[in-house]
Amino acid sequence: MKNSLIRWDSVRKIKNMPMMGQEMVSIFMKDQDAYLDKLSLFKRWLTKMNIGMGYGEITINMNQINNLDGEELTEIMNEYRKNRRKRKS
């Protein structure tokens, strides 16, 4: 699933969540199995571990992003999702 795009309408929720002292943004998919089926065996195993700890299928480590914190990114992404739904209606 390298370099593939995730459709906004396949996202169930986006949440800012800490993990072991690091700020993370977690993305929860509507169809978890469909997402997991696209991953390699190793990535599927890691993702299932994160899911088991209450995180979403996709997790963004905010240590890699210099100009935003997790709350800001979560807010921007949720606002974008909300506006996308309005345009489709």
Per-residue model confidence as pLDDT tens digits over 21-75: 889 999 999 999 999 999 999 999 999 999 999 999 999 999 988 899 999 999 9
What's the rounded mean pLDDT across residues 67-85? Answer: 91
34: which residues sit within 8 A by CB, 6+ positions away?
Answer: 10
- The pTM (predicted TM-score) of the whole model is 0.86
The separation between CA 43 and the C-alpha centre of its own chain, rounded to angstroms, equals 14
Per-residue model confidence as pLDDT tens digits over 7-36: 888 999 999 998 788 899 999 999 999 999
> What is the spatial distance between Cα 64 and Cα 66, in angstroms, rounded to a whole number?
6
In this prediction, residue 3 carries a pLDDT of 62
- Residue of higher predicted confidence among 1 and 27: 27
> What is the spatial distance between Cα 55 and Cα 4, in angstroms, rounded to a whole number?
21
In this prediction, residue 11 carries a pLDDT of 95
pLDDT at residue 89 tops 90? no
